[in-house]
A and B are shown apart, each in its own frame.
Chain A
Amino acid sequence: MSIEEQVKDILARITRVDKAIITRESTFKEIKADSLDVVQALVAVEETFGIEIPDEDAQKFQNFGDFVSYVESRVAQTEKV
């Protein structure tokens, strides 16, 4: 399963929305994710991929696509190391 699909699964499970409605353009607000949902998603993604997402970086995510791209790049960095 791709990183995008895995992150989408996590977000859909936590926010309890149908994953089909989550697109790369979806904002957290559009999928009705509140601040707790977002933090829980960050923690779950960190645990799943073994990465750390500092708050300063997380605050820059404008939409789901930003979140996925960030996770993909961090996972790639980890694999290089």
Chain B
Amino acid sequence: MADNKNIVRNGKIRVAVDAMGGDYAPGEVVKGAVLAAQKDDVEIFLVGAADILEQELAKYRPTNGSFIHVVGASQVIKENESPVDVIRRKPDCSVAVAAKMVKAGEADALFSAGSSGAAAISAIQFIGMVDGMYRPALVGSLGSFAPNTVMVDLGANVDCKPDQFLAFAIAGSVYAKRFLNITDPKIALLSTGSEESKGNDAVREAHLLLKNSGLNFIGNIEGGDILNGKANVIVCDGFVGNVLLKFYESIGGYAQVWTEAKLKKHPPLRALVRVLFKGLFPATRISSESEKQGGGILWGVDGIVKIAHGASRAPQIANAIESAKEAVKAGVVESLKAELAKLDLSKNQPGR
């Protein structure tokens, strides 16, 4: 994982970039890496087919060669392949090699715009998880409508065991402290009612764990409370979180279509609505990370792993690399470990 001593000594954060991952890889990934390397506190390792990457990089090398290096990887994992293949069938694929560099201390962070599953599995298998976290989680802030609220998990874990909700609460709490500057985040569990008896088996059991955790747990909240700011951290499984995320992000667009249709006979008002909704639609985008930082961190991995949408172009890739660098500097992994260490999560993990 990231070694802060090395960072201080070298003055640069080293980011291993999965240069073969993404819809426009490697061209846009290399271009994005070159953009990111314009900052003098980052060193980038482009991981993938060395000959192809050297050719791409040659287009830019005259201005930005010094802190971008190519690291060879003989395999590529494609979107249509099983992410699990990175472990046994394609251990030399670009994302796996990048993950191994983080584990070996040769890089401080990993970035990939390729298969999210492959990145997550490479992170789990080759970097490892911090104690108390079983699988990575995605955390995002709700943005404009609820600027002091984050939700976790946004889709990394479809089926969750009760103790995972507890770990999500801690990851969300660290996010709220580090990125939203909330001193003692209020944590709530998303359920079908405020009573602790509401919800499915995992949620009911998670309620008890959270209640007895010593965290600032305020109880269950319902869907209607998501945007009212009652909670700073809303915990749910990745199935619920991902459905909500996509629904939430679609609201602005549909509201605009509906309102414009209602005002069909009033062109001036319709034009006004169009202008207003230009501002509203971005407000329904979950996560400042997605919008400004070009992707999300896989929380719980024992190192910084940043993933981005496959359709990312060079500017988004540069932003994502930049934010991976900032996450290393902010010491989010160390913060998460410290918070997890305060709770004895091992007692909730039956296999241990």
Chain A residues with CB under 8 Å of chain B are: 12-19, 32, 34-36, 39-40, 42-43, 55
Q: Tell me which residues from 60 to 98 in chain B have a Cβ below 8 Å from any Cβ of chain A.
A: 82, 84, 87-89
CA distance A24 to B235 in the complex (A): 36
| B218-248 interface code vs A (CB 8 A; 1 in, 0 out) | 0000000000000000000000000000000
**Residue B304 interfacial (CB < 8 Å):** no
Q: Is B125 interfacial (CB-CB < 8 Å)?
A: yes
> Does the CB pair A16–B125 fall under 8 Å?
no
Q: Is the Cβ of B350 less than 8 Å from the Cβ of A18?
A: yes
CB distance A36 to B351 under 8 Å?
no
Asked whether A55 and B88 contact (CB < 8 A) given A16-B161, A36-B121, A40-B125, the answer is yes
A12→B121 contact, CB < 8 A:
no
30 A-B residue pairings within 8 Å (CB atoms): A12-B350, A12-B351, A13-B351, A13-B352, A15-B351, A16-B134, A16-B163, A16-B349, A16-B352, A17-B350, A17-B351, A18-B351, A19-B351, A32-B159, A32-B161, A34-B159, A35-B82, A35-B84, A36-B84, A36-B121, A36-B124, A39-B84, A39-B87, A40-B87, A40-B124, A42-B88, A43-B87, A43-B88, A55-B88, A55-B89
**Which B residue's beta carbon lies closest to that of A10?**
B351
Q: Which residues of B sit under 8 angstroms from A19, Cβ to Cβ?
A: 351
Encode B333-352 as 1/0 by CB contact (under 8 A) with A.
00000000000000001111
Once the chains are docked, how many angstroms separate the CA of A40 from the CA of B126? 11
Cβ contact within 8 Å between A16 and B84: no
**Cα–Cα, bound, A42→B89 (Å):** 13
Closest residue of chain A to B117 (Cβ to Cβ) is: A36
Contact with A along B247-272 (1 / 0, CB 8 A): 00000000000000000000000000
Complex Cα gap A17–B352 (Å): 8
Q: Whole-angstrom distance between the alpha carbons of A43 and B124 in the complex?
A: 13
Within 8 A of A (CB), among B86-137: 87-89, 121, 124-125, 134
Residues of B within 8 A of A (CB): 82, 84, 87-89, 121, 124-125, 134, 159, 161, 163, 349-352
* A28 nearest CB across to chain B (Å): 13
**Closest approach, in angstroms, between the C-beta of A43 and any C-beta of chain B?**
6
The CA of A40 and the CA of B128, in the complex, are separated in Å by: 12
**Nearest B residue to A20 by beta-carbon distance?**
B350
Of listed A17, A34, A39, residue having the most chain B CB within 10 A? A39
A16 touches B350 (CB 8 A): yes
Chain B residues with CB under 8 Å of A17's CB are 350-351
Q: Do B82 and A16 touch (CB < 8 A)?
A: no
Residue on A nearest B121 in the bound complex, by CB: A36
Task: Please state if B88 and A16 are interface contacts (CB–CB under 8 Å).
Answer: no
For B84, what are the chain A residues with a Cβ–Cβ distance below 8 Å?
35-36, 39
Q: How far is the CB of A70 from chain B (nearest CB, A)?
A: 16
CA A32 to CA B157, docked complex, whole Å: 13
Residues of B within 8 Å of A36, CB to CB, are 84, 121, 124
Given contacts A12-B351, A39-B87, 13 further A-B contacts (CB under 8 A): A12-B350, A13-B352, A14-B351, A15-B351, A16-B163, A16-B351, A18-B350, A34-B159, A36-B121, A39-B88, A40-B87, A40-B124, A42-B88
Closest to B88 in A: A39
| Cα distance, A2 to B350, chains bound together (Å) | 21
Q: How far is the CB of B205 from chain A (nearest CB, A)?
A: 14
A14's nearest neighbour on chain B, judged by CB, is B351
A48 to B347, CA, bound (A): 26
State in angstroms the CA–CA spacing of A15 and B134 once bound together.
9
- CB A3 to nearest CB in B, in angstroms, measures 19
Shortest Cβ gap from A19 to chain B (Å): 7
Q: Which residue of A lies closest to B125 (CB)?
A: A40
Inside 8 A of B89's CB, which chain A residues have their CB?
55
**Across-interface contacts of A42 in B (CB, < 8 A):** 88
Who on chain B is nearest to A21 by CB? B350
Q: Which chain B positions have C-beta within 8 A of A34?
A: 159
